[in-house]
Chains A and B, each alone.
Chain A
Amino acid sequence: MSYFDNFLIMRSEVSLLTVILFLLLFDIIAGKKGKKYFQPVAILLFALHTLTNLVPEAAGEAFGGMYQYHPVMTIIKTVLNVATLIIFLQSKHVFDGNEMKDQRGEYYFLTLSTLLGMYLMISSGHFLLFFIGLETASIPLATLIAFSKHCKKSAEAGVKFILLSAFSSGILLFGISYLYGTTGSLYFTEVSMQISHNPLQIMAFIFFLSGLFFKVSFVPFHLWTADVYEGAPTNVTSYLSVVSKGSAAFVLMTLLFKLFGSYLYEWQTLLFWIIIVTITVGNLFALRQQNIKRFLAFSSISQAGYIALGIISGSALGMTTVIYYIFVYIFSNLAAFGVISAIESRTGKTDIPDYKGLYQTNPKLSFVMMLAMFSLAGIAPFAGFMSKFFIFSAAAEQGFYLLVIVAVVNTIISLYYYLRVVKAMFIDPNGQPLPALSTDSWNRASLILCTAAIIFVGLLGFILDMIEKQSFGI
């Protein structure tokens, strides 16, 4: 295999890198007139990148096993691409205003950099590439969270995120160092063969996992989530809750399958308790939130618990349902965030009581929000119901009945708070509801896309079949 062939295998990364470099140069070189076209060019280029990387290729590896490719990775990368594209569509209007006008180049550049980090993390076959990917995914994210320079909340959220993420990656690194010490290699294939059950290795395993659990925000490691989600600009919050979480969940799953396959019993026990705590605590805290971003933060914590239901089963069906769940979750969550972003940028309101009587003035926005809430709660005809159903069946298939019962009970609890938002919009009387808002055409396109996906993805069976063809279990 020639040196060039290596890059051919990692073509999705190369094409993303090209987009990033082009946008960077465009932002630097273009004059005032050219900058007017920056956002449409960025969105269209990224859409092009998404389209060119749709088709899975044969499995392979590059650079001596450092980079591993499996067809299922194309699927998860496409899911992340679609999510990022929708977020770009939703954030265009934020940078059209005068306040953030000069920062739009950085926004696209940094967002795509974190995406590149997630790509590397997903396809890594060696701890070095994995760690570089992890840090590439989290360092630019911190700058994105602290993006509005004069907003105190944003600065506070940024500093909380960077310090806690550095702390968690420090612990993860310490875990990797003991894995290296006990196995003598850093390649995933060699480490997984060398793994035995000596205590030092189990400690390393726990340290390593806690670093990853932080990224997915499972419960004992969730404390940063609410503050960071509330303080970050809304378009960054949606990126955090969807793309960052989705990629971390997928990486967690592939690493548990590929690397820690012989620890099956240990991590199933670990995840068993973590899922119960995550879903329950996420739901209970979501009940008492007034700020809608904070509310979605806790809702996303409990959604992470549902995602882990697919991981714990350890089967090919589990992997299929996890990807499917993330795919559906993207549309439901981004529909909600698109509405929030449209309302926040015009009026600056982010509390649930502010949404009272929204239906009187903005029937379309409240309709989309209602669909998003129904889908997140898992009400029957919508996509969220199908994804929850599949993920429960994947866990039940492996005999985790207690876990499924806990999850179902929690779904009922979650209905209360999701419907609270719907009730505020449609039923609660309000003398002075928010004024009628006009969304720009890009955001409207994203909302239409999300609405269509919420309604139709659950009914299109071939999506699940397509994912299932490429999935693998332990």
Chain B
Amino acid sequence: MGELLINNTGVPVLAYQLVSLIMFFAGIYGFFTRRNLMMILISVELILNAADINFAVFNRYLYPGEMEGMFFALFTIAIAACETAVAIAIIINVYRNFGNAEVDNLKKMKG
């Protein structure tokens, strides 16, 4: 398993794992602490991209014979783009109704 984890570039798979984990938890942290809707959306994108890095890295290092992970990552990017488009449209709608895109204003409903 040892040689598998390092390919000819000399970068071990764990280094990529570290990057993707940092991105993932930065996304979660941002999702909970940011007050602006656009920033929350960007945090969500960080989470999705962290998963994409994982797919690409696992495919390249552990299962180089097939391209399954790469394709999954490609599809995910496309789907994430759709999600962002719809989210931005709804955020614009919020902006029109409330006058800004801050989370603190979104408290019409409680209980």
With A127-B72, A152-B97, A177-B54 in contact, is A294–B108 under 8 Å at CB?
A: no
Give, as a whole number of angstroms, the nearest-CB distance from A2 to chain B.
24
Complex contact A174–B50 (CB within 8 A): yes
Give, as a whole number of angstroms, the nearest-CB distance from A133 to chain B.
11
Complex contact A162–B90 (CB within 8 A): yes
A-B pairs under 8 A by CB, number? 124
Question: Which residue of chain A has the shortest Cβ distance to B46 in the bound complex?
Answer: A170
Contacts of B87 in A (CB 8 A): 142, 159, 162-163, 166
Q: Quick check: which of A26-34, A68-76, A179-187, A370-378 contacts chain B, the rest being far away?
A: A179-187
Question: Which residue of chain A has the shortest Cβ distance to B89 in the bound complex?
Answer: A143
Complex contact B72–A186 (CB within 8 A): yes
Complex contact A157–B54 (CB within 8 A): no
Please tell me which one of the listed residues A159, A171, A288 contacts residue B94 in the complex, with CB atoms under 8 A apart.
A159
Q: Quick check: which of A13-21, A225-233, A452-460 contacts chain B, the rest being far away?
A: A225-233
Tell me the complex Cα distance, A226–B110, Å: 9
Complex contact A167–B111 (CB within 8 A): no
Complex contact B37–A184 (CB within 8 A): no
Contacts of B29 in A (CB 8 A): none
Contacts of A127 in B (CB 8 A): 72
Question: Which residue of chain B has the shortest Cβ distance to A158 in the bound complex?
Answer: B90
Tell me the complex Cα distance, A29–B79, Å: 29
Please tell me which one of the listed residues A143, A150, A184 contacts residue B62 in the complex, with CB atoms under 8 A apart.
A184
Contacts of B75 in A (CB 8 A): 128, 131-132
**B-facing mask of A105-134, CB < 8 A → 1, else 0?**
000000000000000000000011001100
Give, as a whole number of angstroms, the nearest-CB distance from B4 to chain A.
12
Give, as a whole number of angstroms, the nearest-CB distance from A167 to chain B.
5
Q: Is A404 interfacial (CB 8 A cutoff)? A: no
Q: Is A139 interfacial (CB 8 A cutoff)? A: yes
Tell me the complex Cα distance, A28–B44, Å: 35
Q: Is A95 interfacial (CB 8 A cutoff)? A: no
Complex contact B106–A185 (CB within 8 A): no
Question: Which residue of chain A has the shortest Cβ distance to B54 in the bound complex?
Answer: A177
Q: Is A178 interfacial (CB 8 A cutoff)? A: yes
Complex contact B109–A163 (CB within 8 A): no
Give, as a whole number of angstroms, the nearest-CB distance from A298 to chain B.
10
Q: Is A468 interfacial (CB 8 A cutoff)? A: no
Contacts of A173 in B (CB 8 A): 47-48, 51, 76
Complex contact B86–A142 (CB within 8 A): yes
**A-facing mask of B49-77, CB < 8 A → 1, else 0?**
01100110010001100001101100110
Tell me the complex Cα distance, A134–B93, Å: 24
Please tell me which one of the listed residues B48, B63, B93, B108 contacts residue A146 in the complex, with CB atoms under 8 A apart.
B93
Question: Which residue of chain B has the shortest Cβ distance to A127 in the bound complex?
Answer: B72
Q: Is A149 interfacial (CB 8 A cutoff)? A: yes
Contacts of B51 in A (CB 8 A): 170, 173-174, 176-177
Please tell me which one of the listed residues B47, B50, B63 contacts residue A167 in the complex, with CB atoms under 8 A apart.
B47
Which residue among A176, A181, A231 has the maximum number of chain B CB atoms within 10 Å of its CB? A181
Contacts of A178 in B (CB 8 A): 54
Contacts of B24 in A (CB 8 A): 174
Contacts of B94 in A (CB 8 A): 155-156, 158-159
Complex contact B93–A149 (CB within 8 A): yes
Question: Which residue of chain B has the shortest Cβ distance to A165 in the bound complex?
Answer: B83
Tell me the complex Cα distance, A379–B84, Å: 45
Tell me the complex Cα distance, A177–B47, Å: 12
Give, as a whole number of angstroms, the nearest-CB distance from A83 to chain B.
24
Complex contact A167–B44 (CB within 8 A): yes
Contacts of A344 in B (CB 8 A): none
Q: Is B91 interfacial (CB 8 A cutoff)? A: yes
Q: Is A266 interfacial (CB 8 A cutoff)? A: no
Tell me the complex Cα distance, A16–B111, Å: 39
Tell me the complex Cα distance, A160–B96, Å: 16
Tell me the complex Cα distance, A226–B41, Å: 22
With A170-B27, A170-B48, A173-B76 in contact, is A185–B93 under 8 Å at CB?
A: no
Q: Is B6 interfacial (CB 8 A cutoff)? A: no
* 21 A-B pairs whose Cβ atoms sit less than 8 Å apart in the complex: A146-B90, A149-B93, A153-B108, A155-B97, A156-B94, A156-B106, A156-B109, A159-B91, A159-B94, A159-B106, A162-B86, A166-B87, A174-B54, A180-B54, A180-B55, A185-B68, A186-B68, A226-B111, A227-B109, A231-B108, A289-B111
Q: A162-B83, A162-B86, A174-B50 are in contact. List 11 more A-B contacts (CB 8 A).
A: A128-B71, A131-B72, A143-B86, A159-B37, A170-B47, A171-B47, A177-B58, A180-B68, A181-B62, A231-B109, A290-B111
